[in-house]
Amino acid sequence: MKRAVAQLFGLCYISFATFLMLFSERLSPMVHESVKQHHARISAEIRRHNRLYYQLDRPEISDAEYDRLFRELQGLETKHPELASADSPVRQVGAPPAGKFSPVRHAVPMLSLRNARDLAEFREFDKSLRQTFLAGVDLLEYACEMKLDGVAVELSYEHGHLVRASTRGDGSVGEDITDNIRTLTGIPHQLKDYPPLLDVRGEVFIDLDDFQRLNRRQQEAGEKTFANPRNAAAGSLRQLDAAVTASRSLRMYCYGVGRGEGLDLPTQLAILKQLQDYGLPVNLTGTSLCLGPDQVAECFNHLLAQRETLGYEIDGMVVKVNDLELQQELGELNRRPRWAIALKFPPRQATTRVESVVLQVGRTGAITPVAHLEPVNISGVTVSRASLHNWDEIARLGLLSGDSVIVERAGDVIPDIVKVLHQRRSGAEQQIPFPEWCPECEAPVSKEENEVVPRCTNSSCPARTIERLKHFVSRGAMNIDGLGEKQLRQLNDLGKVHDCADLYQLGQPDLFAMERMGETLAGKLLQSIADSRTRPLSRLIFALGIRHVGEQTAKLLARSFANLEALAQAEPEELKQLHEIGDKVAESLCDFFRDPLQIDLLQRLRENGVDPQSEAVATQGGPLSGKSVVITGTLQRWSRREAEQRVEHLGGRCASSVSKKTAMVIAGDNAGSKLDKARALGIEILDEQRFAELVEGAQP
């Protein structure tokens, strides 16, 4: 009996096991299909974000959120290796070129770095290198460098001459941005000393102050603003007109080498020092040599503490094995070097709620929405406002007043809303209506067809008045120290100052009517106002706040006209003869100087002693008077800046690119595509000797 029961139990067990095996075989493909679909969804999402980030310079998510998606995909492919195809985003770098520029194939691929979210992950990286690949090594020597939040580029030099510049692209093929890179101050067109062939890698970025100025110009011009400094650098580099790039104040730091014929250097730090000796910009002050993970941790914490004091954005620290032979030995995996890692800073983001949206009016009438937030702490700073830029941005985000949002803070720049958490909506959220009336003076609002910003139509709007005064007295304009927004509002409320000309009629009794104004402070303020009468013409032109006229355009105009009256009388066609003046700027200038209110303002400024003369008065009638001149190649006798000063002394204006408006090209050694274009257009070309003769012939 027991035996029969045992046999029956055994048969049941076998049958149950067989059932489980068959069921699991049927279930397994179902689970696997779900994983495949999830993998495909994440892959497609990452490819979409790569295109937005690298090709369109229009990211929709933060770096931290992108890293989370990327790590999720890595985890799936580690657990299910059969999903890891050759075209997986895990094995790709960046994105293919967008097609705006000619493709450039990198002789040595430009790899991307894996990321470590914290010091614990870096210690795992260090442990893996030592135990898996470098058995017996107790402490590795690392070169630690600032991780700039910019755009990776490659500069190719042949016999010391810059022949090509390209973006990273997908790591193998990038875009030719040579003409744009040549406009960057600090990048030599000819190296001091050089190997026969050198491909230099570096990061192009924009300082935070220049980023803020750029966004103010974009906003006042009714053009799209940039979400962050990295976007601004990328968008500026990928302009079809090099003159636009030249106006954006980009910088570059070099950090490595692709090809380097004849280079035989032992370490990463030696490479950086050699690049500096060649005359290339290198951030050696932001680089440290560390022995082992403990020293790396100290360096990382020190850099994190410095982050807010820098004039540009960094988002972490790059840690590289310093020994170049070890780098070669370690090699790469999935198009990422095994010998380097990016140790990322904590994300400067937080979740909060939009309490309301307030409309601000700028000096040109531009109306900008600003989100007022529930206060939240981000990297030690309490944030209560965030920029929304315009209603196109509100629509892109799908933002409603009352929404929960993710806010990102970049340096001293006003924070941005990077994502709306739609799933948290309660139903009480409200639409953010497009304004029909000015929020300050209730005048009608207009919006031009090609602009994204609505504008107040009332030139006497109180908000516009204060913003115009703030701009006029600012450091880059007339630089009247001691007159801030608070003082200007008081003077306006007291009826003492309605426009910038009124500033020059202020006396001590007017200032004593202000709060907390004593004799000493009033004296300093009146002296600062008096000193501003002698500012250069370019500063006054910029201070007037003429739409589409920034600091660089103001300098160009000041070199081209003897005084403000001559500029005011210029016709549109005369203005458009200037190399960097197009239809939009010429129209804006003429509209400004034909406006009866502005004519009266300029007359009152002259009556109060504000009538500066051109910085180039002495050059009127010179041999290059009124001519647009392009300098290309390497000059032996002068630096580029010295040559430009001589052109200006002769009455000419230096431009960064060759066009039909160019009157002359001065060609030094190894002149490239600009010389070819000048020949094709039949433009007069001077070599250095003939230019020197022109300079010497003009001397008294």
Q: Which residues are catalytic?
A: 147
CA distance 361 to 139: 59
CA angle 644, 648, 651 (to 5 degrees): 145
Q: Which of 111, 635, 117, 607 has the alpha carbon at shortest distance from 331? A: 111
In DSSP notation, 355-377 reads EEEEEEE-TT-BEEEEEEEEEEE
CB 367 within 8 A of CB 442: no
3-state secondary structure 195-237: CCEEEEEEEEEECHHHHHHHHHHHHHCCCCCCCCHHHHHHHHH
How distant is the alpha carbon of residue 234 from its chain centre? 6
Could you tell me if residue 563 is left (phi over 0), alpha (psi between -120 and 50 degrees) or otherwise beta?
Answer: beta
CB 174 within 8 A of CB 154: yes
3-state secondary structure 402-453: CCEEEEEEECCEEEEEEEECHHHCCCCCECCCCCCECCCCCCEEECCCCCCC
Count how many residues are written for the chain: 700
CA distance 232 to 332: 31
The torsion of the CA quartet 370, 376, 380, 381, rounded to 10 degrees, works out to 30
CB 279 within 8 A of CB 254: no
Going by the DSSP 8-state scheme, the letter that residue 401 receives in this structure is B
Q: What phi and psi values does residue 632 have, to the nearest 5 degrees?
A: -135, 155
Q: In what order do the strands lie in the sheet with 287-291?
A: 115-116, 340-344, 314-321, 141-148, 287-291
Collect all residues with Cβ–Cβ distance below 8 Å to 429 and sequence separation of at least 6. 400, 401, 402, 403
Reduced to 3 states, what is the DSSP secondary structure of residue 88?
coil
Going by the DSSP 8-state scheme, the letter that residue 525 receives in this structure is H
Going by the DSSP 8-state scheme, the letter that residue 612 receives in this structure is P
Which pair of structure tokens corresponds to residue 528? 């600062």
Going by the DSSP 8-state scheme, the letter that residue 129 receives in this structure is I
How distant is the alpha carbon of residue 293 from its chain centre? 32
